[in-house]
A and B are shown apart, each in its own frame.
Chain A
Amino acid sequence: MKVMQKVTISGLTIALLLTGCNSGSSNPTTDANGKVTLNFLTQSSALAPADPNDKLINKRLEEKTGIHINWKNYTTDQFIEKRNLAVASGDLPDGIFDAGYTDYDLLKLAKDGVIIPVDDLINNYMPNFQKVLKAAPEYKKMLTAPDGHMYSFPWIEELGTGKEAIQSVDDFPWINQAWLKKLGLKMPTTTEELKQVLIAFKTQDPNGNGEADEIPLSFIDKPGGEDLTFLYGSFGLGDNWDHTVVTNDGKVVFTASDNGYKDAINYIHSLYQEGLIDVESSQQDWNTYLAKGKDKRYGLYFTWDKANITGPNDDYQLMNPLAGPSGKTNVTRTNGLGFDRGKMVITSTNQQVEATAKWIDQLYEPLQSIQDNWGTYGDTKEQNIFKFDEKKGMLKHLSLEGSAPVEVRQKTNIAGPLAILDEYYGKYTTKPDDAASRLKLMKKVMVPHMQADHIYPKVFFSIEELDRLSTIETDLFAYVQRKRTEWYQNGKVNEEWPTYLQELDRLGLQEWLQIKQSGYDRNQQ
């Protein structure tokens, strides 16, 4: 026993001693030649080179700024764990690039003193970023925390503004034009006409193979671009993925407790009863949805861009917003924006704050931002996204020649904090083809029917508010989604409506509304 005791005690002592010491960051920040070195933590896809310094963009940046970056780069599947551990263990880098921090993260880190406020840095060392904020001051407000400071650098990608923004509608409805022609039908303009068209698809064998294997309507029953909530607009305020809509007199409304919502669900149920809806919708995932789409089995389906599912052909066409029973049309706007608050942060252990700020500022120079986001030119090793027109000082998109755009982008871009404003198009760069065509469709087909003048802005809530919102939303949204799916199938929305509203309140709806309304009002000042 004595032996064991001795072993135990010595083991404990050693271990305690070892845990006691905490390594301070002893990374040199300038090398022998006085060249500044910074340590950044970042993430990239599995396709990209392991050392970001192998990318041409980073090499050019180093030449331009004279600053060397030591990257600690993780693949996206591990990044969040590794990032959180690095911070929690006190092993802070100088900055975190492409950090992906949520608002809550930013506020908590700021409160704990892990990251520093950057207001002064912007004012003193960052002319490019100041220009961006001046050209688009709404972003300055979005970036400012409730305590009045800014703690991070954003990612901004404008493609269209206001109602024309490319994010305004995510679930575009694509209708099978080939089948319409085959059956001699016109493009439906009301919800009733749509129902008739779908019935025709189901019963008249438009694909001509003698089997009733057509799926008149399919969707993925989860909030996102594949959901059918586009149709809800025909019945009132409609719905979007965070169930938040602002009326034209500034009131914040929860879409899932609105009366129009009830009518929309009744309509979907009637479609369901006619057997017009894909049986798999309530549980299928993207791959299953895609597989059937590639086979062109859908009459009507929803997605961001038809090229992803049925291909870039003309068999499917964007359907116009439908008039509901009231005769009015409406296209509900999402609250999405090409804006990500927490793209880059500077930590409190950074000893070269001025140099860091200057380095980051380079990223907001228009031509730099464009390359950081999409890819570069003049690369001899990797495929180029652009060619550089020296005379005009403009980057022009090149044809991709069959490569998947994603693979090229992830291998060559560096992402991170940047700003691409709408005014850059035509001046510094051309628009990417897929974006350009989508914007055109948006403007022509959707914008004229958008009734809402405002969307819910990117309010920067306080820590307590964020905590409450996320806790409430976990249960509230799940309940909404579940009831909605049940009602599509059993049609009991009218009888269960009062109990439903009560349950929404029990799950915290009133508090949620109050927080969001006060956030909105604050933002308008």
Chain B
Amino acid sequence: MDGVGQKIKARKGETAHRKTLKKRHNHYFLYALLAPALILTIIFKYVPMYGAVIAFKDFSPLKGIMRSDWVGFKYFEKFLNSPNFTDIFTNTISLSLFGLICSFPIPIVLALMLNQVRQAKIKKNVQLILYAPNFISVVVIVGMLFIFLSPVGPINQLVSAIFGQPLMFMSEPGYFRSIYILSGIWQGAGWSSIIYVAALAGVDPELHNAASLDGANIFQRILHIDLPTIRPIMAIVFILAAGGIMSIGFEKAYLMQTSMNLPSSEIISTYVYKVGLQAGDYSYSAAVGLFNSVINVFLLVAVNFVVKKLNEGEGLY
């Protein structure tokens, strides 16, 4: 395997030239490219940032955020002292973590598979079908889950015929995580594969030809040509996803909750929504958001560190 790999690398290297270059000192143009993003970020993200302190204040609209009373960690304590805090926290992390681990490889595999399809028409149509579920709103997805997985729905008709009893998919806490993650993959894997497909578009088909002539089979070719091309993107996607673990969204979990599956379906965002239903409790949700963000940052830095080790020093930083 190694010999082939080396040969492929050598092929790539043949197209490199070494020449001396003049160093450029003032990159005004590049700064100009950067400027709109920077200015907009400063205006719309940094200027309002003073508002983050709302998590430490008892917000009163007439006083505004800055002049409202300081209450320190009151809302953080309220959150951390919730009777079921540990469960909710664990639910959030495990849902996110397993979700990440399960759904990360699928778009990649899909992209690699699609890449091997020769006929353009088939490829196009298959792609279209794979992308379609992305456009279905989460309300309908969950609605469909309830219908398909209902005790009298199609899946359970099969189960009942075999085992005599239906499986209570939407009631048992044990199923929640799997259903959540699998339906998420069903919905999003196709769409997420687009970025990898695009990256693979940059691979010179000549490389594949040449490698094949050198005796490499498909696996070897994928391993040594395709994968290295998309590795940087894989790394980035993974790192960024890790940095979002605590912030897993609220809507889908909330819709999927039934009275029985709460032990695994109650996550931070749904809980905060319910407690903060006395509307306008900005301080409480801000405190929880801040708590989540701090954890996310730690995760990001940690994962970035690990990924860099595996990815030849290339990570977010």
Chain A: residues with CB nearer than 8 A to chain B?
Answer: 3-4, 7-8, 11-12, 15-16, 19, 22, 80, 84, 87-90, 102, 104-105, 108, 111-114, 221-222, 279-280, 282-285, 288, 348, 466-467, 470-471, 474-475, 478, 481-482, 484-486, 506-508
A-B contact pairs, 23 of them (CB 8 A): A4-B38, A19-B47, A19-B48, A84-B280, A88-B282, A90-B61, A112-B60, A112-B61, A112-B62, A112-B63, A279-B166, A282-B171, A283-B150, A283-B171, A284-B150, A470-B275, A470-B278, A471-B82, A471-B275, A475-B82, A481-B259, A482-B260, A485-B259
Q: Are A280's CB and B47's CB within 8 A? A: no
Sample of 15 further A-B pairs with CB below 8 A, known A4-B31, A15-B43, A283-B151: A3-B31, A4-B34, A12-B47, A15-B47, A19-B47, A84-B279, A88-B280, A90-B62, A105-B278, A105-B280, A111-B60, A283-B170, A285-B146, A467-B278, A482-B259
- Cα distance A279–B35 when bound, in Å? 61
Chain B residues whose C-beta falls within 8 Å of the C-beta of A288 in the assembled complex: 146, 150
- Cα distance A228–B260 when bound, in Å? 17
Does B164 sit at the interface, judged by CB under 8 A?
Answer: no
Chain B residues whose C-beta falls within 8 Å of the C-beta of A114 in the assembled complex: 61-62
Minimal beta-carbon separation of A181 from chain B (angstroms): 28
Q: Are A11's CB and B42's CB within 8 A? A: yes
**Chain B 209-242 near chain A by CB (<8 Å), digits 1 or 0:** 0000000000000000000000000000000000
A-B complex: 8 closest residue pairs judged by Cβ atoms = A104-B278, A279-B151, A112-B60, A481-B259, A84-B280, A15-B47, A283-B170, A283-B258
Does B28 sit at the interface, judged by CB under 8 A?
Answer: yes
Chain A residues whose C-beta falls within 8 Å of the C-beta of B150 in the assembled complex: 280, 283-284, 288
**Chain B 117-158 near chain A by CB (<8 Å), digits 1 or 0:** 000000000000000000000000000001000111000000
Q: Are B259's CB and A282's CB within 8 A? A: yes
- Cα distance A113–B64 when bound, in Å? 12
A18's nearest neighbour on chain B, judged by CB, is B47
Does B294 sit at the interface, judged by CB under 8 A?
Answer: no
Q: Are B168's CB and A16's CB within 8 A? A: no
- Cα distance A19–B274 when bound, in Å? 32
**Known contacts A280-B150, A282-B258; is-contact A12 B279 (Cβ 8 Å):** no
Chain A residues whose C-beta falls within 8 Å of the C-beta of B202 in the assembled complex: none
Q: Are A22's CB and B42's CB within 8 A? A: no
Does B195 sit at the interface, judged by CB under 8 A?
Answer: no
- Cα distance A80–B278 when bound, in Å? 11
Does B176 sit at the interface, judged by CB under 8 A?
Answer: no
Does B59 sit at the interface, judged by CB under 8 A?
Answer: yes
Q: Are B59's CB and A88's CB within 8 A? A: yes
- Cα distance A467–B283 when bound, in Å? 14
- Cα distance A27–B197 when bound, in Å? 56
Q: Which residues of B in the span 41-98 have a Cβ within 8 Å of any Cβ on A?
A: 42-43, 46-48, 59-64, 78, 82-84
Does B297 sit at the interface, judged by CB under 8 A?
Answer: no
Q: Are B42's CB and A279's CB within 8 A? A: no
Does B277 sit at the interface, judged by CB under 8 A?
Answer: yes
**Known contacts A282-B259, A282-B260, A478-B262; is-contact A11 B275 (Cβ 8 Å):** no
